[in-house]
Amino acid sequence: MTTVTRFAPSPTGRLHVGNIRTALHNWMLARKHGGTFLLRIDDTDAERSREEYVEAIRTDLAWLGMVPDDEERQSERLAKYDRAFEALRDAGRVYPCYETQQELELKRKIRLGRGLPPIYDRGALELSDEDRAAKEADGIAPHWRFKLDHDEQIGWDDGVRGTQKFDPAQLSDPVVRRADNSWLYMLPSAVDDLDMGVTHVLRGEDHVSNTAVQIQMFTALIAAQHNAQQIPAFAHEALLVGKEGKLSKRLGSLGCDAFRERGIEPSAIVALLARLGTSLPVEPIADRAALLETFDLTTFGRAPARFEDTELERINAAIVHQMDFAEVADRLPVGMDEAGWHAIRPNLSHVPEAADWWRLVTGPIEQPDFSAEDRDYLAEAAGLLEWGDDPWTALTGRLKEATGRKGKALFLPLRQALTGMDHGPDMGELLPLIGKDEARARLLGQS
């Protein structure tokens, strides 16, 4: 059976780091097995959904290298949900309810006060046809709940959490349709997973109880619609947390725009999130094939996965240090060639920083105030400067022999005069880029 996974965001905002991790793991699961990765836009909430967010989701996935094999939109599938709903209603698996939010809240408080689980008491099932007709005559439109089968225990072998068991009598019958006939998440999602042939649902552990409900929903849909579709396999990964030990608002707003503004490479985000929360080491692996080769749900842990900016920055710097000139050429300052990239690359944490380092070559630079002794030393260096295959080694060798200087006294004034800095790229690579005439002018303080 072909592996089919899906990423199903609601277009009510931008993707954040938690969404990105879920999308990535679904993409990896599909690619690992040569399967299909679907993007499903869950846009049944017409009031909150925005087309700009749909476009942003597509853009972000493409930037991260996770272009889906196909895309579906729930807003274009409403007729399918209507048919499924009718089939479930005919089978007695959905029923109308008329309580207000205030009445439901009061019921919950009463049950809690009695030491009972705060689940729906199924009061609507006790209404007669006359009771329902009277309520609707009074203008009270019903919302609809899916009726769980209390005699059918719920269980599945979770790809991350292992054996899971739920007593349906301890769960509320979920609302699937509002009084205005709009849909909640549960039923359309189950209809789509069956209809699209989704084989694996990989999502956050906050969906575990939803899965328990949806497993009965899948079974009821298959029976009511007389089809032979397969219920997906489920896996629930631990959620991301920040340093403070809980899912922070900062993580909830940290998305691709923020990463791009900071100069974070998409391959660094992928390398970090691919293994975050697993037993595998987080390493600066830019090769997607290498990440896919080791991807395995059995490596996923149950403990919360901690996301830290410092770790992302470490991975990003290491990724940048691996990048070839061809990968970054269109992002580098004018005039910077492969030799320039090779010289400057080890000093970068982010590719956009290349422009700052390239100014060491193009100038102007600001030199420190040198002592008279160092000025004489630099003037001597200008006189000894000759051009060849390795002008830096030749120059420092001559200066060492002529002046007796060594170590910091030999090298630091030269670096300061040539670059205006105490540290930076390897001077053996940088000096040829500066050029003989400009280098001599800088040594003489005439640049």
pLDDT at 228: 76
pLDDT higher at 345 or 228: 345
Q: How far is CA 194 from the centre of its chain?
A: 26
Q: Residue 182: pLDDT above 80?
A: yes
pLDDT at 253: 75
Q: Which two tokens stand for residue 36?
A: 């299909």
Q: Residue 246: pLDDT above 90?
A: no
pLDDT at 254: 85
Q: Residue 119: pLDDT above 80?
A: yes
In one-letter notation, the amino acid at residue 104 is L
* Count of residues in the chain: 447
Q: Whose CA is closest to 183, among 84, 98, 107, 103?
A: 84
Q: Is the pTM of this model over 0.85?
A: yes
What does the alpha-carbon distance between residue 156 and residue 165 come to, in Å, rounded to a whole number?
Answer: 7
Q: Residue 244: pLDDT above 80?
A: no
165 belongs to an annotated ligand binding site:
no
What is the signed CA dihedral for 413, 419, 421, 423, rounded to 10 degrees?
-90
Q: Residue 225: pLDDT above 90?
A: no
pLDDT at 229: 86
Q: Which two tokens stand for residue 169?
A: 């009598």
Question: Where do we find the tokens 């080769």?
Answer: 293
Q: Whose CA is closest to 387, among 423, 343, 330, 433?
A: 433
What does the alpha-carbon distance between residue 310 and residue 349 come to, in Å, rounded to a whole number?
Answer: 12
pLDDT at 249: 62
Mean pLDDT, the chain, integer: 95
pLDDT at 415: 98
pLDDT at 248: 60
Assign 3-class secondary structure to the chain.
CCCEEEECCCCCCCCCHHHHHHHHHHHHHHHHCCCEEEEEECCCCCCCCCHHHHHHHHHHHHHCCCCCCEEEEHHHCHHHHHHHHHHHHHCCCEEEECCCHHHHHHHHHHHHHCCCCCCCCCHHHHCCHHHHHHHHHCCCCCEEEECCCCCCCEEEEECCCEEEEECHHHCCCCEEECCCCCECCHHHHHHHHHHCCCCEEEEEHHHHHHHHHHHHHHHHHHHHCCCCCCCCEEEEECCEECCCCCCCHHHHHCCHHHHHHCCCCHHHHHHHHHHCCECCCCCCCCCHHHHHHHCCHHHECCCCEECCHHHHHHHHHHHHHHCCHHHHHHHCCCCCCHHHHHHHHHHCCCHHHHHHHHHHHHCCCCCCCCCHHHHHHHHHHHHHCCCCCCHHHHHHHHHHHHHCCCHHHHHHHHHHHHHCCCCCCCHHHHHHHHCHHHHHHHHCCCC
How buried is residue 114: exposed, middle or buried, by Cβ count under 10 Å (0-12/13-18/19+)?
exposed
401 and 407 Cβ atoms separated by less than 8 Å:
no
Q: How many other C-beta atoms lie within 10 A of the C-beta of residue 188?
A: 23
Q: Whose CA is closest to 65, among 255, 287, 348?
A: 287
The stretch 198-213 carries a mean pLDDT of 96
Q: Residue 250: pLDDT above 90?
A: no
CA distances from 171 to 52, 158, 201, 213 (A): 37, 19, 21, 8
pLDDT at 6: 98
Q: How many other C-beta atoms lie within 10 A of the C-beta of residue 310?
A: 8
Sequence spans of domains, the chain: 80-154+164-177, 372-443
- For residue range 299-321, list pLDDT tens digits in order: 999 999 999 999 999 999 999 99
Q: Whose CA is closest to 145, among 126, 124, 130?
A: 124
- For residue range 251-279, list pLDDT tens digits in order: 767 899 999 999 999 999 999 999 999 99
| Max Cα-Cα span within the chain | 110
The stretch 35-57 carries a mean pLDDT of 95
- For residue range 143-167, list pLDDT tens digits in order: 999 999 999 999 999 999 999 999 9
pLDDT at 447: 77
What does the alpha-carbon distance between residue 103 and residue 319 come to, in Å, rounded to a whole number?
Answer: 56
Instruction: Express as a percent the part of the chain with pLDDT over 90.
Output: 94
- For residue range 77-100, list pLDDT tens digits in order: 999 999 999 999 999 999 999 999
What does the alpha-carbon distance between residue 325 and residue 339 come to, in Å, rounded to a whole number?
Answer: 9
CATH superfamily of 80-154+164-177: Glutamyl-tRNA Synthetase; Domain 3 (3.90.800.10)
What does the alpha-carbon distance between residue 447 and residue 437 come to, in Å, rounded to a whole number?
Answer: 10
The stretch 407-418 carries a mean pLDDT of 98
pLDDT at 316: 98
